[in-house]
Amino acid sequence: MALRIHEAWILLFVIPALVAPAAINHEDYPADEGDQTSSNDNLIFDDYRGKGCVDDSGFVYKLGERFFPGHSNCPCVCTEDGPVCDQPECPKIHPKCTKVEHNGCCPECKEVKNFCEYHGKSYKILEEFKPSPCEWCRCEPSNEVHCVVADCAVPECVNPVYEPEQCCPVCKNGPNCFAGTTIIPAGIEVKVDDCNICHCHNGDWWKPAQCSKRECQGKQAL
């Protein structure tokens, strides 16, 4: 009886030793993901693992690569914190620019205003025009209109006339002046009534006529 108990204890120690090598196989148990990646510390993962950058078209760039996120963006470098983009000092857009494109890092002027606007009309650069009979204007390269207004001389009559397409008034009947309410021509004496003879001032057509009294025809008749 004592012999059988001793043999049983021997079997308990021997059987596990024989079974263990066959039962424990590392291939049957997949290693942890951490154990698999620990041997690949130098591996750079793509964007879908958070180790890259994506442009507007969905293209993936690796760390350190230089790329353009979109058609209107400045160049960027892919970093672990995301794209780090250049911020250049773009040239100023011309104030007269009428067409600006944003297809690159900096906006670009494609068309500069090359005309002037004056009273609702457009004129070419250096074009001369007359918006009114008394104005002479020119469209300057600065897109501004400069005008000169004619300085008309004082008319030599009290009844000047403005003719169509003429700037300054004209004296159609020659120089004259007022003698009371009567207009008399300059240069001659005019008998305005039975007692008064008048004439215009020399050169001062805007002043009333000078008149002098003479014997009235009515008194002589008496």
pLDDT at position 138: 95
The whole-model pTM stands at 0.39
| Number of neighbouring beta carbons within 10 Å of residue 139 | 22
92 SS3 class: coil
42-46, 53-57, 134-138, 160-164: which range is least confident on average? 42-46
Tens digit of pLDDT for each residue in 50-90? 578 888 888 888 888 888 887 767 888 888 888 888 888 88
Cα–Cα dist 21/38, whole Å: 27
| Number of neighbouring beta carbons within 10 Å of residue 214 | 10
Q: Is the confidence at residue 137, as pLDDT, over 90?
A: yes
Q: Is the confidence at residue 15, as pLDDT, over 90?
A: no
**Residue 199 and residue 213 in contact, taking contact as beta carbons nearer than 8 Å:** no
Cα–Cα dist 102/73, whole Å: 9
- Structural domains in the chain plus CATH codes: 51-107 (no CATH), 115-149 (2.10.70), 154-215 (no CATH)
Cα–Cα dist 87/209, whole Å: 82
Cβ-based neighbours of 150, under 8 Å, separated by 6 or more: 134, 135, 136, 167, 168
pLDDT at position 203: 63
pLDDT at position 16: 46
Please list the residues that pair with 121 across neighbouring strands.
Answer: 118
Cα dihedral sign, 29-34-39-45: positive
